[in-house]
Amino acid sequence: MPTREDDLRVVPPTKCWPPACHMRLVARDRLSSVAGRLDRLRLVCVTAPAGSGKSTLMTQWHGMLAEGEAAWLSLERADREPANFAAALAAALKGRVPSLGAALQAILSSPEPVLLRRTVDHVLVELAMHDRRFVLMLDDAHHLIGSGAEEALARLIAQAPPSLTVVVGSRDRLSLPISRLLLSGSALEIGWDELRFTAGEAGILLNEAAGDGLGADIVDVVTRRTEGWATGLQLAAMTLRQRPDGADLRSLSGRSVDVANYLLEDVFSALAPSDRDFLMNTSVLDRFSAGLAEAVSGRDDARAIIERLEHGNLFLLRLDDRREWFRYHHLFQEFLQSRLDVAHPGRRDDLYRRAAHWCEAADLLREAMTYARRGRHMEHLADLLERAGRQMFRHGDFKSLRDWLAVLPPGTLQNRRELCVLAGWAHAYLGEIAAARTCAAMAASSLAPEDRATRAELAVMRTTFGVIQADEPESHDLPSNVVDHLPSDKPALLGFGHVAVGYTLRAEGRLDDALAAFERGIAITERPETALVNLLARFNIGALLVFMGRPASAEERLRQSLEVARARGWDESIGAGFLNVQLGIALREQNRLRDSIAALGRGIELLEAGEGYGYLGVGLAERARSHRAAGNGNAAAQDRDAARRLADERGITRVRFRVDLLDARTALGGGRLDEALACLEQLRSGLVPPSDDGGVLNEKYEIFLVQWCRLLHGQLRMAEVVRVAGLGVGSALAAGRHRNAVAFLVLQAAAWKGLGVPGKVRDKLVRALELVRGEGCVRPFLAAGTTLLDDLAELAGDRALAASVVPVLAALGRHSEATDIPIPVLRYRETQIIGLLTHGLRNREIGERLRISEETVKWYLKQLYEKLEVRSRTEAVQKAREYNLLA
């Protein structure tokens, strides 16, 4: 019985074994001797038409190598998909290079599709540390042509360490770096001419089959007519076992395919009718075991038949060393299927039905769905998808889920609430919000009053729709105890429930409570199959910390989360894309623009690969903003336009809001006040107006109000700036959004300066600096441009504020002249660690106190020593006291 396939990306072990051939092989030293030269080659390409003996030759080489020296992988069309190729590569390598196999296998718990460049990097790094000679054999590689997997293979070969040899068997040439390697003598090409049997080799093969004494004329005819084609000769040999005189072979003529059909028919007709029926029935299977073959053929003696066929060398290939799984030679399979369609028209659908049911019972869900689809058994496929869809949901594999659902006939979802719900999730995270809402409405229309679990999931889903589309949760029907109504045995769904609650709390301005909700979401999803929601909760914590005016803390938390993602193999998922984008935002807040652009680029790359269009536009708009801040006008315009197109195509208003806001910032920065006014008026028309009670403002309205105050300042309406910014400060402080509070305080300070009240200027700046002390927060202080430059420079003389002021002055183009010694700027975590050093704590104790690893503590200490220009802990503490960094 096959291993349970809990993960839809499980690779059958049969793909990692060379196909067994029981026919006695003719000694062909000119080819078999290549095995002894593989250690001096980087690449061997065996390229020839079907049936030329490519797999047989590679299998020979595999058997001649030392145990553990070679890994085998039989490729198929499904391996064009990045996730499938990475999974297959991991399965092939894990038994030969355990550390590499484990690393790749971990990647597969992340959502599809895997970014193959990063996967190849994992392979290259591990192989570089693998000191033993290693041969990777890839058969049927023509399936990869024109795909990203082909590009990844080319990259692997081009950058492989000298200890690796790659052997590629293919019907057609792949785009591989063979020309350069041929020039250096480190590559070898074996084609049709080399694989063809010579007359002497063909005579040995045919005479062995006929019992010697076969006439030279017959050998000559067969060799010429088959052109030395291995499969043609093998078929002729099988015919000779039935008719040793070889008389029928004199009439061979035509192309290879005609020769094959002629000889296959001869071999096929010599079998017993029951065996012919068995072969035809099982020819619809991509691979089969005795159990699957019995289920499909209706026979109860499949194992005996398989053994008989294997003994008779009837193009049956064994796929594992336990003799459990087999497949037919591709040409033989195609021949059998054509005979099946002639002898039993319409039987295929029933055979596929039987195969699907057997695979379902064996938990081979991917194969079950494939057979159900081929047989057009759509009700069964829908049943399978209800079961497999939850696996895809847990992995965040929304692209595959959507694609499978698209196979179902129109109207299927209307009668299946579970599939409606799954389709809603898939469409939402792929940025197809209208389709997601339709699915959610269909699911809700058939809800029974007592179905609290589905009702709760739909409330969570609709809350998520609002965030994906507009950054505003649609939580009107989300009960505060929604998690209590969700199934306790579905951690991924529970995690989404906690995240939805966090969205709602954030929108209400209860940021500390929102943080706690996201932390609960992380805690309940710390398992491999819940990658997306776990990283989503981590991403939201980083976003909140930025809004709270704590960008350095956000950076630290996001980097820790990315380390977790790397350790668990989630670092190529769309969830990791979310983390990288938010890291880019946190870095921009600290005015580290080059690092910001790099992190945003990595996030965008992951989101594009995973088709995470619901957040891709956000990443593009944020990178445009970082490019603009860095003075990269053309790059900013390109990202801005791409974000706008995506927003318009998919109706994602949160992206449109960011693009409009960027346009307003750009106009304000260029002094184009009329243009800025038009942009801001357009923005305001789409926002929820503030209530009259003077409470906490909507988060987006608060962001808009910062730019409105900048406009008022540009119009020299200083008193109005003081008033409006005062409203903003009150709202931001009440909600804990200190980042916005700082921007409003800075604008108030600029307005008071315009009004000639220096005392107010200092008060507002000091209050702003104190709100974000130790967090490296820079960008909000730039809201008023250089208006406050001299005032900030004066504050640099205050050692309690200097660490916060110096980077702001640097961003404004001035270094502090108020102090003779430049004040180092410490991150929040660095300040914590230097404080604990004063108590004499060791690295391990500091790590336990801060809940970080001892290695992480060492890394921070190295950064501290460099910033403080010291060499010891004692010197670091002394220097920190001198700079008043411990206050």
User: In this structure, what token pair is assigned to residue 693?
Assistant: 């009670």
- Distances in Å between the alpha carbon of 524 and those of 482, 492, 498, 577? 15, 8, 9, 21
164-170 vs 43-47, strand pairing mode: parallel
Closest CA to 788 of 771, 811, 772: 811
pLDDT, average across residues 636-650: 93
What pLDDT was estimated at residue 245? 61
Cis status of the peptide bond prior to 113, with omega within 30 of 0: yes
- Tokens describing residue 747: 């604008």
Q: What is the pLDDT of residue 109?
A: 47
Q: Contact, 828 vs 863, CB < 8 A?
A: no
| pLDDT given at position 816 | 41
Long-range contact list for 626-632, CB < 8 A, 24+ apart?
626/584, 626/588, 626/593, 626/596, 626/597, 626/600, 627/597, 628/662, 628/665, 628/666, 628/669, 629/588, 629/591, 629/593, 629/779, 630/593, 630/594, 630/597, 632/597
- 495 Cβ neighbours under 8 A, 6+ residues apart: 521, 522, 524, 525, 530, 533, 534, 536, 537
What the block records as the tokens of 763 is: 């008060």
Look at residues 221, 225, 165, 226 and name the one whose alpha carbon lies nearest to residue 195.
Answer: 226
CA-CA-CA-CA torsion sign (365, 369, 375, 379): positive
| pLDDT tens-digit readout, 120-179 | 777 777 777 666 778 999 999 999 988 888 888 888 888 888 888 999 999 888 888 888
Asked whether the predicted pLDDT for residue 102 surpasses 60, the reply is: no
Which of 509-513, 521-525, 639-643, 688-692 has the least mean pLDDT? 688-692
Of the pLDDT bands very low, low, confident and very high (cuts 50, 70, 90), residue 504 is very high
Residue-level pLDDT at 526: 86
Please tell me the predicted confidence (pLDDT) of residue 532.
84
pLDDT of residue 110: 46
Average pLDDT over residues 500-517: 93
- Mean pLDDT in residue range 724-747: 95
Nearest to 246 by CA among 303, 296, 205: 205
508 CB-contact burial (10 Å; exposed 0-12 / middle 13-18 / buried 19+): middle
Mean predicted confidence (pLDDT) in 314-342? 81
Alpha carbon distance 717, 522 (integer Å): 47
The Cα 328–Cα 98 span in angstroms is 31
How high is the pLDDT of residue 253? 47
Give the residue, 883 or 191, on which the prediction is more confident. Answer: 191
> In the prediction, which pLDDT does 622 show?
96
- pLDDT for res 112: 42
CA pair distance 659, 646, nearest whole angstrom: 11
Average pLDDT along the chain: 84
Higher pLDDT, 852 or 842: 842
* The residue count for the chain: 887
Higher pLDDT, 335 or 25: 335
Query: Which residues, at least 6 apart from 233, have a Cβ–Cβ distance to it below 8 Å?
Result: 197, 202, 205, 206, 222, 223, 226
Better-scored residue on pLDDT, 269 or 674: 674
pLDDT of 24 above 70: no
- Global confidence as pTM: 0.70
Per residue in 668-705, pLDDT (tens digit) is: 988 999 999 999 999 998 887 887 666 789 899 999 99
Q: How confident is the model at residue 571 (pLDDT cuts 50, 70, 90)?
A: confident
